[in-house]
């Protein structure tokens, strides 16, 4: 059968040779055109592939060989060669002044389309052979009796084949027992999957490379160095955040500051700006005493902050929101809260309501 396919397609190529022959005074041969050479090379390669596939098909046709050797196949192949030969001779009997192919080649349209047709025919034959080969292989597989599992041994699934593991039946456990028994747990000869072993080898290699880079060559930071760099970066980000968040403090979200630097800054501003009315120790002068339990406008931190921020116009206390930033207002308010119960000398009498 492979000889018949080769005869069929070789005849289709041979029948086109007269078209590429030298036409004498009419012009150079079409074989000098690169497109013609490429198409002929493709056709020849496909013809070789057809021969190989046909041989493979014949090898798989053990039960159909006699039927495929009948004279009907030979007649069909011979008729195909004759038809292609006649088509080729009639096509190339045209005059040399025929219009050239529009595909940027010296080949005539007839020559170009004939070569393309031969290649398409060869591709169709290859596809047909592939389907036929697949069909025949499927038949052989169906006819091949399946191996029954050995008595006492369960069938092996594809998952077990991939992992190279096996299901051990209760009857076969004694054969696979490794002799290691602890608290009723026995070790059987069932190795770990290969992917687990390769994963373990990879982690060991990674650890060696990591140790070399971080502890010996110091070409990469260690975990402690990475942690220190991350903490430093976080500290910088925290400072930037606090700088931005300081201007968002108001009487609704003010919180008690415990940093001694904040309390010291609040004391400095209090002595410079609030002491003329409240005394340097908060004992009260014109303004009320800030160290006892009595408050005119509330003694909670947010109330003290609000009083400093907006002032009390009818009592002569100015608004400090234009002079201090929200952070500075919070520092002053927190310092005032630290004065509670300090009992300074010459403290003014209580005013307002007890908190």
pLDDT band of residue 200 (cuts 50, 70, 90) is very high
Q: How many CB atoms lie within 10 A of CB 1?
A: 16
Flag whether pLDDT at 235 surpasses 70: yes
Q: Are 257 and 331 in contact, with CB atoms under 8 Å apart?
A: yes
Mean pLDDT to the nearest integer, 88-99? 43
Q: Which long-range contacts (CB under 8 A, 24 or more apart) does 202-209 make?
A: none
Between CA 305 and CA 253 the distance in angstroms is: 10
DSSP string, 289-342: PSSSSEESS--SHHHHHHHHHH-BGGGTBPP-TTTS-HHHHHHHHHHHHHTTT-
200's CB contacts (< 8 A; 6+ apart) are: none
Q: Which of 147-151, 157-161, 212-216, 248-252 is least confident?
A: 147-151
Instruction: Return the DSSP state at 218.
Output: -
pLDDT band of residue 107 (cuts 50, 70, 90) is low
Q: Kindly report, residue by residue over 140-159, the tens digit of the pLDDT.
A: 444 445 555 555 555 667 77
Mean pLDDT to the nearest integer, 65-77? 49
Q: How many CB atoms lie within 10 A of CB 187?
A: 12
Looking at the DSSP assignment, which residues form a beta bridge with residue 340? Answer: none
- Which pLDDT score is estimated for 268? 93
Flag whether pLDDT at 300 surpasses 50: yes
Flag whether pLDDT at 343 surpasses 70: yes
- Which pLDDT score is estimated for 93? 40
Q: Which of 31-35, 138-142, 223-227, 296-300 is least confident?
A: 138-142
Between CA 308 and CA 323 the distance in angstroms is: 11
End-to-end Cα, the chain, rounded Å: 111
Query: Structure pTM?
Result: 0.36
- Which pLDDT score is estimated for 1? 46
Highest mean pLDDT among 75-84, 146-155, 279-288: 279-288
Mean pLDDT to the nearest integer, 294-317? 90
Higher pLDDT, 28 or 136: 136
Highest mean pLDDT among 121-130, 225-234, 335-344: 225-234
Tokens (6 digits) for 57: 């098909």
300's CB contacts (< 8 A; 6+ apart) are: 355
Between CA 233 and CA 235 the distance in angstroms is: 5
Flag whether pLDDT at 323 surpasses 60: yes
Mean pLDDT to the nearest integer, 201-215? 92
Q: Which of 54-68, 165-179, 316-330, 336-350 is least confident?
A: 54-68
Is domain 260-354 in CATH 1.10.1740.10, yes or no?
A: no
Mean pLDDT to the nearest integer, 234-260? 84
Q: Kindly report, residue by residue over 53-67, the tens digit of the pLDDT.
A: 777 766 666 545 555
Where are the domains positioned within the chain?
2-143, 260-354
Flag whether pLDDT at 218 surpasses 80: yes
Higher pLDDT, 293 or 94: 293
Looking at the DSSP assignment, which residues form a beta bridge with residue 294? Answer: 354
Beta strand 353-354 pairing with 185-188? unpaired
Mean pLDDT to the nearest integer, 222-250? 86
- Which pLDDT score is estimated for 148? 57
Looking at the DSSP assignment, which residues form a beta bridge with residue 185? Answer: 182
**Helical packing angle, 34-60 and 2-14, nearest 10°:** 170
- Which pLDDT score is estimated for 184? 81
> What percent of the chain lies above the pLDDT cut of 90?
21
Q: How many CB atoms lie within 10 A of CB 338?
A: 15
């Amino acid at each position: 059968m492979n000889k018949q396919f080769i005869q069929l397609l070789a005849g289709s190529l041979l029948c086109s040779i007269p078209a590429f022959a030298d036409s004498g005074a009419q012009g150079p041969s079409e074989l000098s055109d690169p497109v013609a050479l490429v198409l002929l090379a493709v056709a020849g390669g496909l013809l070789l592939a057809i021969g190989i596939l046909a041989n493979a098909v014949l090898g798989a046709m053990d039960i159909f060989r006699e039927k495929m050797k009948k004279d009907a196949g030979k007649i069909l192949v011979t008729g195909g060669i004759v038809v292609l030969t006649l088509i080729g001779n009639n096509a190339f009997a045209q005059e040399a002044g025929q219009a050239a192919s529009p595909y940027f080649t010296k080949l005539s349209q007839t020559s170009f389309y004939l070569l393309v047709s031969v290649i398409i025919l060869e591709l169709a034959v290859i596809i047909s052979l592939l389907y036929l080969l697949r069909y025949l292989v499927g038949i052989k597989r169906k006819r091949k009796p399946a191996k029954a599992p050995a008595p006492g041994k369960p069938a092996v699934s594809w998952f077990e084949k991939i992992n190279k593991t096996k299901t051990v039946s209760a009857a076969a456990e004694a054969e696979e027992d490794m002799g290691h028994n602890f608290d009723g747990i026995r070790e059987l000869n069932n190795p770990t999957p290969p992917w687990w072993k390769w994963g373990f080898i990879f982690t060991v290699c990674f650890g060696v490379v990591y140790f070399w880079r971080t502890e010996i060559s110091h070409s990469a930071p260690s975990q402690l160095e990475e942690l220190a760099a991350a903490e430093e970066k976080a500290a910088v980000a925290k400072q930037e955040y606090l700088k931005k968040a300081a201007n968002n403090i108001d009487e609704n979200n003010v919180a008690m500051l415990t940093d001694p630097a904040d309390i010291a800054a609040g004391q400095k501003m209090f002595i410079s700006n609030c002491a003329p009315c409240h005394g340097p120790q908060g004992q009260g002068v014109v303004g009320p005493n800030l160290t006892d339990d009595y408050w005119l406008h509330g003694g909670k931190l947010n109330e003290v902050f609000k009083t400093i921020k907006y002032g009390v116009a009818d009592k002569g206390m100015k608004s400090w929101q234009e002079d201090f930033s929200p952070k500075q207002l919070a520092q002053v308010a927190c310092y005032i809260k630290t004065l509670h119960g300090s009992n300074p000398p010459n403290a003014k009498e209580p005013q307002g309501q007890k908190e």
